[in-house]
Amino acid sequence: MSAVVSEHDELHLSYGKYITGFLLSILSTVAAYLLVTRGTSTTHVTEILLACLAAVQFIVQLVFFLHVGEERKPRWRQLILLLMIFFAVVVVLGSVWIMYNLNYRMSPQQMNQYMQNQTNSGL
Amino acid sequence: MSEVTTLDLKRVEAEATDKTTFGFWVYLMTDCVLFASLFAVYAVLHGNTFGGPGGRELFKLPYVLVETIVLLTSSFTMGLAMLALQKRDKQAVVGWLLVTFVLGGVFLGMELSEFHAMVTEGNSWRRSGFLSSYFTLVGTHGLHITVGLIWMAVVGIFTLKKGLTDTVRKRLTLLSLFWHFLDVVWIFIFTVVYLLGSLNI
């Protein structure tokens, strides 16, 4: 009977998982830190490596601390997590893209050119 | 006969807990979308320093690394509290909650003193678009930590007074989700704001 409750109530937790998660997250944090402070040349490779380390940390937190993936079917939590990730990516990348584009198209030079064209055409 | 009904009752209760946890999970995910929009604002405005200092001049990375490790450790000790909860060990639950509370308090204190130093140097949110978005993003996370600490204190007192009842266990489970979630958000703040902001590209 208690098995029924514990199965729903709490997932089966173990020390090993938490300790592994903790060590992995500390390691990837320190690795990312050293990459920035000790890195001799900062290129776009550094940025990509940092993004990868952040992704590793994200997955470690999700799997070892938030127990994503241990849920039984139907996996509603996982579904809504994926939906959130999709929204987040669209919001962040979309904003950056559109604002970059706007800056580019509305740079002072372009605006001057535009106004000059308007004046020349008699407006 | 009565055996069957208690079993059914337990199952109904367990399903209710499941629903509460799921509802809370939905809240956490929508909170993530809130943070995503603040990250988007930061990503758009981080270059607009208006002649003021940028991230490279302002951020003290060793300090932020200590902050991060403190928060990661607090997430771990919250996990240990959940393990103690699984073993129904009230003393250990309260003990680990206390450790988590202290670590969270240290993190919040470090963050506030960082903010204080920046503001007294004249680099408040009024200085530039970059600083406005920085203070909004990191400040919102700090606000969540503050709420988490208050919640932790309340649940801790409940645990001490009432013991590990069903309600207290449910609240502890939700609190641990919230705390781990704040850790996830901080990882992105650490990488996007502090580490990428300190690169000289």
* Position with higher pLDDT, A100 vs B67: B67
Q: Is B12 part of a structural domain of the chain?
A: no
For residues A49-73, give the mean pLDDT: 89
For A57, nearest residue in chain B (alpha carbons):
B187
From chain A, pick out residues whose CB is under 8 angstroms from the CB of B195. Answer: 32-33, 35-36, 50
Q: Cα separation of B38 and A91, whole Å?
A: 10
For residues B83-106, give the mean pLDDT: 95
Interface A–B counts its CB contacts (< 8 A) at 141
Highest mean pLDDT among A89-103, B17-31, B110-124: B110-124
A15-48 pLDDT, tens digit each? 888 999 999 999 999 999 999 988 766 678 888 9
Q: Cα separation of B22 and A108, whole Å?
A: 50
What mean pLDDT is reported for chain B? 92
Q: Is B40 part of a structural domain of the chain?
A: yes
Q: How far is B121 from chain A (nearest CA, A)?
A: 24
> Does A18 contact B13 at a Cβ distance shorter than 8 Å?
no
> Does A13 contact B82 at a Cβ distance shorter than 8 Å?
yes
Q: How far is A118 from chain B (nearest CA, A)?
A: 30
Q: So where are chain A's domains?
A: 1-70, 73-123
SS3 category, A25: helix
Q: Cα separation of A66 and A88, whole Å?
A: 19
pLDDT tier at B192, thresholds 50, 70, 90 = very high
B121-171 pLDDT, tens digit each? 999 999 999 999 999 999 999 999 999 999 999 999 999 999 999 899 999
From chain A, pick out residues whose CB is under 8 angstroms from the CB of B4. Answer: none
Q: How many domains is chain B partitioned into structurally?
A: 1
For A7, nearest residue in chain B (alpha carbons):
B14
CB atoms within 10 A of CB A113: 11
Q: How far is A7 from chain B (nearest CA, A)?
A: 9
Nearest to B32 by CA among A91, A96, A76, A118: A91
Q: Is residue B39 pLDDT above 90, yes or no? A: yes
* Residue B145: domain span: 20-198
Q: Is B181 part of a structural domain of the chain?
A: yes
Q: Is B15 part of a structural domain of the chain?
A: no
Residue A11 is predicted with a pLDDT of 56
DSSP for B126-167 reads TS-HHHHHHHHHHHHHHHHHHHHHHHHHHHHHHHHHH-S-HH
Q: Is residue B71 pLDDT above 50, yes or no? A: yes
**Measured over all CA atoms, what is the biggest interatomic distance in chain B, rounded to whole angstroms?**
78
